[in-house]
Structure 1
Amino acid sequence: MIRVFRARAPFAAPFTAPLAVPLTVTVACVALVACGSGGTTNPGATSSASASPSAPAAQRGDGTLTIGTLLPQTGSLAYLGPPMFGGADLALKEINEAGGVLGKPVVEHDTDSGDTSTNIASQSTDKLLAQKVDAIVGAASSSVSESVIDKITRAGVVQFSPANTSDKFTTIEDKGLYFRTAPPDRLQGRVLGDLVVSEGSDTVGILALQDAYGSGLADQVTQTAEAGGASVVERVDYDPKAADFSADVAKIKAKNPKAIVLIGFEETAKVVQELVKQGLTSDKHKWYMVDGNMSNSNFVQSPKGTMDGVKGTMPGAEAPAAFQKRLLSVNPELTEYTYGAESYDAVTLIALAAEAAKDDSGASIAAKLVEVSKGGEKCKGFKECADLLRAGQDIDYEGVSGPVDFNDAGDPSVATIGVYQYGADNRFNAAKAVEYRTGKIAG
């Protein structure tokens, strides 16, 4: 009997199920030019790390693939924890039902990443490394990942985030061991900036969380909007731990922009309350949001209609109904699906890379992740792809979140950005894509 090991604390109270509302959804598919150096000897290495003399020496694994998760159970991104844990759990379930990796069940240890206001991520990382994990899936927050990446990569362990979007990771020193299924912020920022301009707003105000994620996105939105002819008349980078946001919102109000871009996490609910209080409601100004604050649980207590018409961007292909149903089989209480597909793909790709390498060590997995993501026979799911590998075939894993296709920096070279719209019930529905936008980003 296959056993899956757990070390997870319980989540907070379950979310309220969303109502089905017919909404408009835009999906932007954005192809990237490879951002790493072209001649790296390790296909998973970033341009800054491809020739690192401090890279860990290659070691054979112990024959059992062990994956740790470093995902939010607490903190400002806790609402994203359930779908990401669900995606990882679903992948693990399907992998082990298909016979596991290297003939053995994959072992998983789950931990909490918390957020940047605590030291939880560092403690969880220490725990996972002590448990001899080969790869760590997480963190969700770019700033949290940045705080532990050195510790993880020094240990020769793969770090694979399903949700990091900071541009810093494209060139960060990572010994070739860092990967992500979420695209860099410059994609999302470009799509959001284009959206704001295309909907007729020539003056823009930005309220952004003051960290690597918020600042990076705000920079790209500003650049794109201004290139499109709009003016960013006020930008406020705020402290998410502030007691209130009245002074921050007042700065936006003084400039009276047609569009207001909100870049943040859970604290956005308080920012929204202050916007309404000061008369900057969504029916008078166009509000736009991002993946960090797009939620079906964060605004349900707001007065009906508060979020009506608000649009927001999220990296990743819309999760098809069939995949959502599979996620519900491992967690029937899910109401959020953000980054569930990316987490599923992360675990599946790690397992396929270990199969391709015939070894479960972090270095061996990293060396094969680019190879299994592109250039071979297209396949979906662990069983189909693993069967091809065992038959001596090269594979191209087609993920639930999109094609993946890693470049040499460990970034997906093809990405999808969805634009979603809230209804009067303060929830959004990602059921349909009605148009596509394509573009290329040079590294």
Structure 2
Amino acid sequence: MSVFARATASRSSRAVWTGIALAGASALLLTACSTGGTATTPSETAEATADASEALPIAEGERALDLKIGTILPQSGALAFLGPPEEAGVQLGVDEVNEAAAGVNVEVVFRDSGDTTTDTATVSVTDLLSQDVSAIIGAASSGVSKTVIDQIVAANVIQFSPANTSADFTTYNDNGLYWRTAPSDVLQGEVLGNLIADDGNQTLGLIVLNDAYGTGLAQFTKDAFEAAGGEVVAESLFNEGDSSFDAQISEVTAANPDAIALITFDQAKVITPALVGSGFPGDKLYYVDGNLADYSADFAPNLIEGSKGTLPGLDTGSLGDFTDRLLGVDPDLTDYSYAAESYDAVVLIALAAYAANSTDATEIAKYLQQVSGGSGDGEKVTTYADGVKLLAEGKQIDYDGASGPITFDSNGDPTEATIGIFEFNADNTYSRIGDG
């Protein structure tokens, strides 16, 4: 997907939901981005939000729908650390929709996505489709989603990812059935590239996972860094399943870059100590959503203190009691990455099912943009219960959720997002220091 970023006033009544709007189909030109600052770009081809006259009608009246959904989220593989918060977000969404007892009763079936070294996702999708699910939430990995999207679309089922960020999905031939609450890596790459430049680095090396996620994010990071006056002096790829990264480390460090960006999944657990052990400064590494994690149990103290990274999503401190509600589902959670996006996926699907008065995936998909506020000029709501009250009156709604304003465009992309900027502490945990 190609998208634009521009600063917008928040579509939410909550001040913390100041987002970055995404629209259009061209390269980003980031005009301001710094720790604690806001990224802004002029939008040359921004799509106008559809007005109420273009919206599908909402039939008045209550509903009694039984909606079955499945998940393919990472219980194993290179992104397994994202599985617990994503599954907790889904379960919380299901619980709260069902507790509202307002027209839609949701049943969820959890399955593993694995990673691209296995066919776990295909096996899971085949199983879920045999159970007549209306929607499948996942995968977290863009590469994994690419292995199953055709299978899901061919079955006329919705695929809804809370974490896919590859730009390729914007224009994918998905028959209107692919949606995501995570922003395209066009934005994260812009924020990361400018962050590295703003920190005073003039040269950059990249160690990159060779898949749709890694190479796409690397390109957008490179574009932004070079547009800011920097030079990428080395870029070395590896494949999912590789266990040794000596060649990549040697290739990149030989170019003597000021900084190195690791665009990987949990391979960073192996690459990071080896890089620092080779003599590269631990505070000159940059991480991304695929590997920004708590490394306190993996690395020696102070190993990467001062290094930084980026991750889409609101500051957990701005989520009110959402994190407390998540801990009610999984009290062992320590990472909340993409939990809010997973929760919102469930709520949006349920609201769209109510609006459509159907559990047929193609009918639900017709209303997803509308209930998100991307069309219909609806009234703002922030919970499922409030949304269905208005839908039962035949009114349009605009749902802003735990992940913030969403506002889908016609491609199924969110048009508003926030990218957090983080810094690692002495104990190799990380803290948010601003938004890009």
Which TM-score bucket, shorter chain as reference?
0.7 to 0.9
Task: After superposition, give the CA deviation of every residue in 1:81-116 in whole Å (9 maximum; x if it has no partner).
Answer: 0000000000100000001544xx211111000000
Confirm whether residue 293 of structure 1 aligns to residue 295 of structure 2: no
Partner of 2:4: none
Measured in 1, the distance between the counterparts of 2:238 and 2:17 equals 29
Using the TM superposition, give the Cα deviation of residue 256 of structure 1 relative to its aligned residue in structure 2, in angstroms. 1.1
SS at match of 1:398: strand
Distance 2:181 2:172 in 1: 16
> Hey, what does 2:315 align to over in structure 1?
318
Name the residue aligned to 1:306. Answer: 303
Distance 1:388 1:34, change over 3 A: farther
In structure 2, the CA distance between the partners of 1:292 and 1:28, relative to structure 1 (3 Å rule), is farther
How many aligned residue pairs are there?
385
Q: Deviations over 1:221-268 (max 9, x none)?
A: 111100110000111112242231112111111111111111110111
1:169 deviates by: 0.3
Shift of 1:34: 4.4
Match of 2:96 among 94, 97, 102: 94
What TM-score does the superposition give when structure 2 sets the normalisation length? 0.85
Which residue is equivalent to 1:55?
A: none
Q: Which residue of 2 aligns with 1:160?
A: 160
- Gap runs ≥5 in structure 1: 1-25, 42-60, 438-443
The alpha-carbon deviation at position 28 of structure 1 amounts to 8.9
Higher mean Cα deviation, 336-345 or 302-311? Answer: 302-311
AA partner of residue 370 (structure 1): Q
Q: In structure 2, what residue type is equivalent to 1:413?
A: T
Change (3 A) 1:249 1:299: farther
What corresponds to 2:80 in structure 1? 78
Contact 1:62/1:360 (CA < 8 Å) preserved in 2? no
**Which deviations, in whole Å up to 9, do the C-alpha atoms of 1:8-52 show, x marking residues without a partner?**
xxxxxxxxxxxxxxxxxx99942111459979x9xxxxxxxxxxx
- Paired with 1:274 and 1:368, the residues of 2 have a C-alpha distance of 49
- Aligned pairs for 1:198-217 within 5 A: 198-217=198-217
In the aligned structure 2, how far is the partner of 1:321 from the partner of 1:302?
A: 32
- Which of 417, 422, 437 is matched with 2:424 structurally? 422
Q: Is the 8 A contact 1:318 1:401 kept in 2?
A: no
The amino acid across from 1:355 in the alignment is Y
User: For the residues of structure 2 that align with 1:101 and 1:420, how far apart are their CA atoms?
Assistant: 41
Confirm whether residue 258 of structure 1 aligns to residue 279 of structure 2.
no
Which residue number corresponds to residue 233 of structure 2? 233
Aligned counterpart, 1:343: 342
Q: What percent identity do the matched residue pairs reach? A: 45
Q: Which amino acid aligns with 2:355?
A: A
- Alignment match, 1:394: 396
Structure 1 distance, partners of 2:369, 2:98, is 23
* 1:309-331 Cα deviation digits (max 9, x unpaired): 11111111123252111100000
Is the 2:102–2:388 contact (alpha carbons within 8 Å) kept by the matching residues of 1? Answer: no
Correspondence for 2:12 = none
2:100 aligned partner, one-letter code: A
| 2:351 aligned residue | 352
* Matching residue's letter, 2:202: D
Tell me: higher relative CO, structure 1 or 2? Use CA pairs within 8 A at least 6 residues apart: 1
C-alpha contact (below 8 Å) 1:27/1:419 kept by paired residues = no
- The amino acid across from 1:343 in the alignment is S
In 2, the alpha carbon distance for the partners of 1:259 and 1:368 equals 45
Return closer, same or farther for 1:420/1:27 CA change in 2, 3 Å cut-off: farther
Distance in 2 (alpha carbons) for counterparts of 1:426 and 1:381: 36
Deviates more, 1:236-245 or 1:319-328: 236-245
Match in the other structure for 1:142: 142
Given that residues 135 and 158 in structure 2 are in contact (C-alpha distance below 8 angstroms), is that contact kept between their aligned partners in structure 1?
yes
SS of 2:20's equivalent in the other structure is strand
Contact 2:23 2:46 in 1 (8 A): no
TM-score by length of 1: 0.83
Distance 1:231 1:406 in 2: 35
Q: Tell me if structure 1 keeps the 8 A contact 2:74–2:139.
A: yes
Please give the secondary structure, in 1, of the residue aligned with 2:132. coil
Map 1:104-253 onto structure 2 (within 5 A): 105-253=105-253
Provide the C-alpha distance between the structure 2 equivalents of 1:392 and 1:243, rounded to a whole number of angstroms.
Answer: 56
- The one-letter code sitting in structure 2 at the alignment partner of 1:295 is A
Per the alignment, in what secondary structure is the counterpart of residue 285 of structure 2? strand
Give the SS at the match of 1:429.
strand
The amino acid across from 1:129 in the alignment is L
Query: How large is the Cα RMSD of the aligned pairs?
Result: 2.2
